[in-house]
């Protein structure tokens, strides 16, 4: 470990290989941080690391956030190589919110959503906190607007993301004065063109898709990444235990079907 590396902030981004996570990795690199791009899809993580290698130090690693020994090993590897951890972004999660109707939703599927989306946040935070505490660091959890609003048949996803918000404010109090903890709830963020090259698609949206958002467009991964970058810095030092909704104004829009 070089002297310069020892003075740089180190950030771990789970689910960093694609979508919002990829944008977060790029944003934190622009802030001069060393970034660990951790993803269960190592192909995606490697591609992200290669894509942004010119921006700074970024390392790809394979990580299943629901597997505690793997999580613990990942954190120890980071500390062994870089000697510190300043920022944790818990972004990894099952992103498809649509499940079977409740009477057909299997316990296995229900549990998998909780294991990845909620228990994963707990496990990575648990093993990262001792090192974040040393740096007066920051945790940013990626939740969802579906923690507050729902479409049909999204029980497992909504419950897991609601748990992320509750875990966020609980951790913020437990870690008072040591680690700041906040969450972000994105709305409709288009990630099709932020996937790994093998599965990337060019998004196509209708005028009504855009117009239904008060800001007149669908969200981009950078919209979330900018907020992560703000919360990760000392200028946000008076902010903890908060959930920030980034949804283009959809959450405040009153909508009725025309009769």
**What is the secondary structure of the chain as a DSSP string?**
--HHHHHS-EEEEETTTSHHHHHHHHHHHHTT-EEEEEES-HHHHHHHHHHTGGGS-EEEEE--TT-HHHHHHHHHHHHHHHS---EEEE-----------TTT--HHHHHHHIIIIIIHHHHHHHHHHHHHHHTT-EEEEE--GGGTS--TT-HHHHHHHHHHHHHHHHHHHHTTTT-EEEEEEE-SB--GGGS-TTT-------HHHHHTSTTSS-B-HHHHHHHHHHHTSGGGTT--S-EEEESTTGGG-------
Asked if residues 14 and 228 have their Cβ atoms less than 8 Å apart, the reply is: no
- Residue 157 known to be catalytic: yes
Active-site annotation holder among 52, 113, 131, 157: 157
Asked if residues 17 and 196 have their Cβ atoms less than 8 Å apart, the reply is: yes
Here the tokens at position 99 are 């499940």
Active site residues: 157
């Amino acid at each position: 470990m070089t002297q310069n590396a020892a003075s740089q902030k180190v950030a771990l981004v789970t689910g960093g290989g694609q979508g919002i996570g990829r944008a977060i990795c790029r944003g934190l690199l622009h802030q001069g941080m060393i970034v660990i791009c951790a993803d269960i899809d190592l192909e995606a993580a490697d591609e992200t690391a290669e894509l942004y290698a010119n921006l700074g130090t970024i390392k790809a690693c394979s990580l299943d956030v629901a597997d505690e020994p793997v999580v613990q090993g990942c954190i120890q590897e980071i500390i062994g190589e870089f000697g510190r951890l300043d920022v944790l972004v818990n972004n990894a999660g099952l992103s498809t919110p649509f499940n079977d109707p409740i009477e057909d939703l299997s316990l296995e599927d229900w549990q998998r959503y909780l294991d990845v989306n909620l228990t994963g946040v707990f496990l990575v935070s648990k093993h990262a906190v001792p090192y974040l505490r040393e740096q007066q660091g920051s945790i940013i959890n990626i939740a969802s607007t579906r923690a507050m609003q729902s479409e049909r048949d999204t029980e497992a996803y909504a419950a897991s993301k609601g748990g992320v918000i509750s875990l966020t404010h609980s951790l913020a109090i437990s870690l008072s004065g040591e680690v700041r903890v906040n969450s972000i709830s994105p709305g409709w963020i288009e990630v099709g063109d932020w996937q790994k090259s093998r599965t990337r698609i060019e998004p196509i949206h209708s005028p009504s898709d855009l117009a239904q958002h008060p800001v007149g467009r669908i969200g981009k991964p950078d919209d979330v990444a900018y907020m992560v970058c703000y919360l990760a810095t000392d200028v946000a030092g008076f902010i903890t235990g908060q959930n920030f909704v980034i949804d283009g104004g959809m959450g405040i829009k009153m909508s009725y079907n025309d009769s």
